[in-house]
Structure 1
Amino acid sequence: MDERLKDSIPPHNLEAEVATLGAMLLDWTSIQDVVTFLLPEHFYSLQNQIIYSTLIKLFGSGITGDILTLTNELSKNNELEKAGGGAYIASLTNEVPSAANIDYYAHVVLDRATRRSLIKISSEIKASAFDESRESRSILEEAEKKIFALTDMGQTIQIHDMHEVVQRTSEIIHQHYHNHDTYSGIPCGFTRLDSMTSGFQKSELSIIGARPSMGKTAMALSMMENIAINQKIPCGFFSLEMSFEQIGQRLLSQVSRIPGHKIRSGMMKLDDLQKINDAAGRVFDSPLYIVDTPNMQLLDLRAMARRMVQSKGVKIIFIDYIGLISTQNSAAPVYEQVSEISKSLKSLARELDIPVVALCQVARDAEGAEPTLAQLRGSGSIEQDADVVMFIHRERKKTEEGEKDPVQDAKLIVAKQRNGPIGDVNLLFLSSYTKFENKAAEE
């Protein structure tokens, strides 16, 4: 065959399509093995699409599919000729010896359909790229969505009986029993919180809320210090408010325990500088990846998060903070935009199968009092979409000289947790290093 002609024909395998349909007609029960993942549009031949679509209708009606019932149904719908005619229907069972290999035949059909979809998507992406009326960011997001959707193509729905459920659940319980000193998720380093949550869990969206200057960023960085620097677990951080240089200074202050104002002013002793160098050595090889784009578009954030997971192996993502994420629908009311963001972050956590931790401001009337779920700023959908909601609470105390108290009592209030208890976690806030730590009684 001429190579140019070959390249112009979309990928397909008519033999596999006929074998799949013939296997169903030989053994009607075999349709249940493929109907959960194979769709009519996966067939390349139009007549095979019509035949399979009709077989699915028969299956759904509880009618046994064979050559006679199939032919009658096609005739009733005036589709027999479109499906190739009676002779073609009768010939289907001649091409396959048994229904034993229907799963193999069906997956060959699915493979060719996937390849055709890839070609179609590539053409659409190319056409969109030439459309100068569209933003390139929007084209990239659309392309990524289409490609990722293909990974779900042909996903088989599984039925789990109680033998499998009990066996697997028992294995998990015994693993927890023999490893009771470990966590099922990613521990953040705050002992009491990790005991309550068993660490940040895959596919879950956690929200950390507080009034401005209560230490939202400090809380995230304190958690990331333990996760990325101490445990060497790859961690992504979207800083929409602070530059990566500022984040770097915060981290070195935390790790070295040199006050941030000394680092910024340069008023350090030689011993302080040595501690900074030692801290830099610890931080240098830590798998912490920072994006510091202000007012980042939601679609850009999602795209970058996917890349972090794929190229850097990131296991958890922090976002500082929800209120600074932009949506394409900027003219919509704030509550609608926040709702879109929270739903998108939850779906992102499920798609990437990692924890997503997002910071959020609470309403002004929370000043001086312990925040509540009703005070989450922007939309009630944050509370609805989040699996865990925590609030930072501490007093804005000052010493007699007017300086901030270097060590303050602080509280992390777990106000919501779908799969665990709620309650308070007592911490210390070290204002000189803008860092949270366990209280001695909690360790």
Structure 2
Amino acid sequence: MPSETEVPPGPHRKMLAALHEVYVAAGRPGLRQISIGLKDDDSIPATLNYQAVGKILNGKQLPSPRQLMSLTLWLHNEGNIDSKTESDYKELITQLMNFREAAHRHQLGIERSEVPLAPAETRRRNQDPKNAQSTAKVENANERKVLSCMLQSKDAIADVVEILRASDFSNDLHKEIYNVLLELYAEGREVSIEETVKKLNSHYTFDIDSGQYLSTLLLEVANPGEASHHAEVISDSALGNRIGALGRKVAEMAESMETRSDLNSQHLLNTLEGELFAMVREHSAPIADSLEETLDEVEAAGGSIVGVPSGFRDFDALNSGFRPGELVIVAGASGMGKSTLGLDFVRRCSVDQPRSSFLVSLQMSRVETNMRILSAEARVAIHYMRSGTMRDEDWTRLARVMPSVAAAPIYMVEEPGYTINQLRASCSRLEAFHDLKLVVIDSLDLLYLDASESAGDHDRSLAIMVRELRKMAKELNLPVIALYPLGRISTGYRGRRPELHDIPDCLENFADVVILLHREDAYERDSPRAGEADFIVAKNRNGPTFVTTAAFQGHYARFVDMDKT
């Protein structure tokens, strides 16, 4: 032990005193013996040459956290101190690390931090009641254990990423350490304290010695194979906290229903249901997994349609159908056949495939919708069906398609005043229980933001609804098609195709795909292009813009490819 002249009283001398106690208990091994022992023991996180060991024990060099922990661990194992329990050993290491951190800060002229935790944890302990402090300690203990496993083993990281998200951690410092460990793992770099500290300090600023704190984490768990268990405990706790917070939120809303006119029981149910479904759907995965999934999708495509087929060959070839997660706006003047086209998309999805689809029919009744589907499938003129003048061959055709139409998983709502919250709740249920693949809204101008919305407010809320529709498409990972009227054909409109600026700016900004529907014969019956319809893809966030032509068979209430006329 060096004299007080060599190492004055203070945190450095206190650290040396505690370290020399372990050194003496180990039988005062030689410096070379310690150096060789550190090198030969694979469980030791760092090695030291004999000169460095001598400088540390003589107080001429302040060890790094990793060096101090390695030296203490080897001396403790060499001394075979049976009288001390594992908790005593951890307490010793913690004490040494605290002395070392204080000495380091003293050298730099910085006052020692009182608690080696992230600032957010300190604030939480100051603000929360005592029972919350107890819960936080338990949560942090599990978080420290799972990080300990990840620092010791890449296999542990691979196990943990399947269970935990960064947001599951209650401690901000632990959250950032977790993110850095995942980055190192994904980059194929060494997962060590040095690399972790380097990356942590380059991204974030903390009021503690991150290297010293990481060194103490290594002592939390002896077996990295426990990683999955600790991760599941953290995940369950985080989900429980979220459910509890949701319950409190809904309870507060319920209590305020009497004083707030914008709240009702349906709104509370939609809020509860929507957030619960969001919790069920959420999962985490490293970026490597998503890249592999992307490559699998590219390979599986092989020239086939990736999304939900539209039923139109040229459109599907250029756009690969309707891709999951995209909001598609189909706009056109009144009388162009938007509702007919929307039903075509539904039929191709659910009758031909079959895949589940959801039709929000705010333009037509359920009977009118069914009549159009049957007319298109059976090729029976719709005016015959409406007037009751069907011939025997028409009834035969109708009977032939009835089984396939009846079996089609088409779900429909025709409720007046249907709101965006009701739409989200319905889509969440269908996606969860019926594997929903496509949503068609006919039409967007008849959808309401909330039940209390007046006609005058609707235009101002259009941007909010479109934003929510796009968000819903992303969250549920399915294509959402919304039909939108451009207004009746005016004199200034005659003779030209619709353009992107004809739709409201909010539709252009939020939509992933904008299809403008145009038929010349809608305003010029003698047009040489009578019976033809242009699908003008004026915006395509993830593909090309183009124009394709289809045949309009109004008497059968359908559009078809040109070669099928």
Q: Per the shorter chain, which TM-score range?
A: 0.7 to 0.9
- C-alpha distance in 2 between matches for 1:310 and 1:54: 33
SS of residue paired to 1:358:
strand
Q: Given the alignment, which residue of 412, 433, 439 partners 2:556?
A: 433
Q: Given the alignment, which residue of 37, 45, 65 partners 2:210?
A: 65
- Aligned twin of 1:327: 449
- TM-score of the pair, normalised by structure 1: 0.76
- Aligned twin of 1:373: 500
SS of residue paired to 2:560:
strand
* Greater RCO (Cα-Cα under 8 Å, separation 6 or more): 1
Q: Given the alignment, which residue of 286, 303, 310 partners 1:158?
A: 286
- Aligned twin of 1:202: 324
Say if 2:416 is the partner of 1:272: no
Report if aligned partners of 1:427, 1:439 keep a CA contact under 8 Å in 2. Answer: yes
Q: Given the alignment, which residue of 469, 477, 480 partners 1:345?
A: 469
- 2:369 alignment partner AA: I
Say if 2:137 is the partner of 1:37: no
Say if 2:264 is the partner of 1:135: yes
- C-alpha distance in 2 between matches for 1:23 and 1:295: 50
Say if 1:200 and 1:278 are closer, same or farther in 2 by CA, change over 3 A. Answer: same
Matches within 5 A, 1:41-440: 43=170, 59=200, 60-61=204-205, 64-65=209-210, 96-97=221-222, 101-102=226-227, 104-126=229-251, 128-129=253-254, 131-133=256-258, 134-151=263-280, 156=284, 158-160=286-288, 165=291, 171-177=296-302, 180=303, 182-328=304-450, 330=453, 334-364=458-488, 366-376=493-503, 379-394=504-519, 395-396=521-522, 408-440=531-563
The Cα shift of 1:419 comes to 2.0
The Cα shift of 1:261 comes to 1.5
- C-alpha distance in 2 between matches for 1:42 and 1:69: 17
Report if aligned partners of 2:361, 2:413 keep a CA contact under 8 Å in 1. Answer: yes
The Cα shift of 1:372 comes to 0.7
- C-alpha distance in 2 between matches for 1:168 and 1:297: 35
Unaligned runs of 5+ in 1: 1-7, 44-48, 71-89
Report if aligned partners of 2:357, 2:437 keep a CA contact under 8 Å in 1. Answer: yes
- C-alpha distance in 1 between matches for 2:550 and 2:390: 28
- C-alpha distance in 1 between matches for 2:541 and 2:227: 42
The Cα shift of 1:344 comes to 0.9
Report if aligned partners of 1:253, 1:433 keep a CA contact under 8 Å in 2. Answer: yes
Report if aligned partners of 2:148, 2:221 keep a CA contact under 8 Å in 1. Answer: no
Find the structure with the greater CA-based Rg.
2
The Cα shift of 1:315 comes to 0.6
Report if aligned partners of 2:372, 2:557 keep a CA contact under 8 Å in 1. Answer: yes
The Cα shift of 1:343 comes to 0.7
The Cα shift of 1:412 comes to 1.2
SS of residue paired to 1:231:
coil
The Cα shift of 1:17 comes to 4.0
Say if 1:19 and 1:264 are closer, same or farther in 2 by CA, change over 3 A. Answer: closer
Report if aligned partners of 1:237, 1:291 keep a CA contact under 8 Å in 2. Answer: yes
The Cα shift of 1:290 comes to 0.9
The Cα shift of 1:284 comes to 0.9
Say if 1:128 and 1:266 are closer, same or farther in 2 by CA, change over 3 A. Answer: same
Report if aligned partners of 2:151, 2:218 keep a CA contact under 8 Å in 1. Answer: no
- Aligned twin of 2:71: none
Which structure: greater helix fraction?
2
RMSD of aligned alpha carbons: 4.0
The Cα shift of 1:130 comes to 5.7
The Cα shift of 1:203 comes to 0.3
- C-alpha distance in 2 between matches for 1:251 and 1:54: 55
The Cα shift of 1:294 comes to 2.2
Say if 1:216 and 1:176 are closer, same or farther in 2 by CA, change over 3 A. Answer: same
Report if aligned partners of 1:13, 1:112 keep a CA contact under 8 Å in 2. Answer: no
CA offsets 1:114-167 (integer angstroms, 9 cap, x no match)? 1233244335435544654321222122213432443477x5463449xx95x7
- C-alpha distance in 2 between matches for 1:241 and 1:285: 24
Report if aligned partners of 1:319, 1:359 keep a CA contact under 8 Å in 2. Answer: yes
CA offsets 1:2-40 (integer angstroms, 9 cap, x no match)? xxxxxx99x97976742432565798789996898345x
Report if aligned partners of 1:203, 1:355 keep a CA contact under 8 Å in 2. Answer: yes
SS of residue paired to 1:194:
helix
- C-alpha distance in 1 between matches for 2:347 and 2:518: 21
SS of residue paired to 1:304:
helix
Unaligned runs of 5+ in 2: 1-130, 179-196
SS of residue paired to 2:466:
helix
- Higher deviation after alignment, 236-245 or 293-302: 293-302
Alignment size in residue pairs:
396
